[in-house]
């Protein structure tokens, strides 16, 4: 298993920092570091914008900070994209769209246990980007299959570059939009989502997984062909623990869970301490133990992270930096307590 467990740390990539140096230092403080996405630094650093590069039909307005889609523009630009379709580098993130990503690729990360990249997933991208009729492009039966192919190429080329830095690199596909599939109001059924995601992941190299902060149907995600699943258990832990059978199957297939436990929003963070974070996790783990999931076995397939991303705190990046420190401290405490120091 190339993805580490034993309660090592990683985190979500979207960060509120406007200082790239500071953001990189914070990201590198994790056991499994990642390249930060900094939309407050530059709109190109927004996760949706980064996923849109070279996608035909995109209308990007840097001044208004909007991302739209035009079917007429798609038809015009489609041939140009297809001319490069077998060139993996065409689908990578350019330095214009993320100087931070390219800075990360310049580092020596060979001594890390693993490193991680990320890209916005096709469901969330397709829901968020609207066409000329204010309709999500996810609902366009012509555009959607092509979008799945392009997004898979984006994931693969990024993972290939990361593996050049560290052989144990892996990818998160960020899918905040997946929780809305199960609302009954999305107009996009869970069966359609399953078919599209199965097809999407069939094209993606391993190791790969999904991160989301919402509360979807956990059976849906735990039954997918993922190597890692990252979630917000600070908000959703009690609900997630109710899916013990699916969690057990996921772990038995070699899956790794990332327990997002420390809040990054200012008000809830101020109400928590290291002891309260440990207590919350132990309550979830005890519930799973009572349903037959051995704690040592679970730890071997678990990482820790902050609970969510946050761009709106009144103190900007300060609470987020504190949350990263707390997750490091919590990891150290738990690894010492359960004899995991020196393990990975």
Query: Over the stretch 59-71, which tens digit does the pLDDT of each residue have?
Result: 999 999 999 999 9
Is the pLDDT at 298 greater than 80? The verdict is: yes
* Distance from C-alpha of 166 to C-alpha of 182, rounded to nearest angstrom: 37
- C-alpha triplet 229, 236, 179: angle, nearest 5°: 65
pLDDT tens-digit profile of 152-184?
999 999 999 999 999 999 999 999 888 888 766
Scanning the structure block, which residue is given the tokens 């094209």? 203
Contacts for 79 with CB less than 8 Å, ≥ 6 apart: none
Question: Which two structure tokens, joined as six digits, stand for 163?
Answer: 């593996």
Pairing of strands 208-212, 8-9: unpaired
User: Within 13 Å and on the Cβ side, how many CA atoms surround 47?
Assistant: 26
In a domain, 190, yes or no: yes
CB-based contact 81:56 (threshold 8 Å): yes
- On whether residue 248 sits in a domain, the answer given is yes
Q: Please report the pLDDT score of residue 23 as a whole number.
A: 98
Taking the alpha carbons at both ends of the chain, their separation in whole angstroms is 10
Residue 279 domain-assigned? yes
Residues 2, 167: Cα–Cα separation, whole Å:
9
Does residue 342 register a pLDDT over 80? no
- The chain-wide mean pLDDT, for the chain, equals 95
- Tell me the C-alpha distance between 201 and 308, whole Å: 24
- What's the CATH number where 132 sits? 3.20.20
Give the dihedral sign, CA 269/270/271/276.
positive
For residue 262, what pLDDT is reported? 98
Residue 103 lies in a domain: yes
The CA distance from 236 to 307, in Å, is 10
State mean pLDDT over 262-275.
97
Burial of 47 (0-12, 13-18, 19+ CB in 10 A): buried
- In this prediction, residue 344 has a pLDDT band, given cuts at 50, 70 and 90, of low
The number of folded domains in the chain is: 1
Residue 1 lies in a domain: no
Residue 228 confidence (pLDDT): 98
Is residue 20 pLDDT above 80, yes or no?
Answer: yes
What percent of the chain has pLDDT above 90?
92
Evaluate whether residue 253 is within a structural domain: yes
Residue 269: which of 329, 211, 310, 215 has the closest Cα? 310
Domain that holds residue 265: 8-40+99-337
Residues 56 and 78 sit within 8 Å (Cβ to Cβ): yes
Does residue 73 lie in a domain region? Answer: no
β-pair partners for 228: 209, 256
Is residue 116 pLDDT above 90, yes or no? Answer: yes
Question: To 5 degrees, how large is the angle CA 157–CA 44–CA 260?
Answer: 70
Element of type H or E holding 262: strand 256-262
Position 125 in a domain: yes
């Amino acid at each position: 298993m190339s993805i580490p467990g034993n309660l090592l740390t990683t985190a979500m990539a979207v960060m509120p920092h406007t200082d790239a140096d500071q953001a990189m230092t914070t990201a590198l403080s994790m056991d499994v570091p990642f390249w930060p996405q900094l939309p407050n630094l530059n709109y190109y650093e927004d996760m949706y914008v980064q996923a849109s590069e070279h996608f035909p039909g995109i209308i990007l307005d840097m001044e208004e900070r909007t991302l739209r889609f035009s079917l007429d523009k798609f038809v015009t630009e489609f041939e140009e994209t297809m001319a490069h379709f077998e060139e993996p580098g065409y689908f990578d993130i350019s330095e214009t769209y993320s100087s931070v990503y390219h800075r990360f690729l310049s580092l020596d990360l060979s001594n890390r246990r693993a490193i991680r990249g990320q890209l916005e997933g096709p469901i969330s991208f397709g829901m968020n980007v609207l066409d000329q009729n204010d309709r999500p492009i996810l609902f366009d039966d012509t555009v959607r299959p092509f979008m799945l192919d392009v997004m898979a190429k984006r994931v693969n080329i990024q993972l290939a570059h990361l593996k050049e830095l560290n052989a144990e690199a892996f990818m998160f596909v960020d899918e905040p939009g997946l929780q809305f599939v199960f609302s009954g109001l999305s107009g996009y059924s869970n069966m359609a989502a399953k078919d599209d995601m199965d097809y999407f992941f069939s094209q993606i190299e391993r190791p790969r997984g999904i991160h989301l902060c919402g509360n979807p149907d956990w059976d849906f995600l735990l039954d997918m062909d993922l190597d890692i699943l990252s979630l917000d258990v600070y908000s959703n832990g009690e609900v997630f623990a109710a899916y013990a059978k699916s969690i057990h199957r996921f772990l038995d297939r070699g899956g790794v869970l990332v327990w997002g436990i420390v809040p990054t929003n200012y008000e809830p963070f101020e109400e928590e301490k290291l002891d309260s974070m440990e207590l919350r996790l132990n309550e979830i783990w005890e519930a799973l133990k009572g349903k037959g999931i051995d704690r040592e076995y679970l730890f071997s397939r678990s990482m820790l992270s902050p609970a969510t991303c946050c761009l709106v705190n009144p103190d900007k990046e300060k609470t987020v930096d504190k949350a990263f420190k707390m997750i490091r401290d919590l990891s150290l405490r738990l690894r010492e307590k359960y004899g995991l120091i020196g393990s990975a």
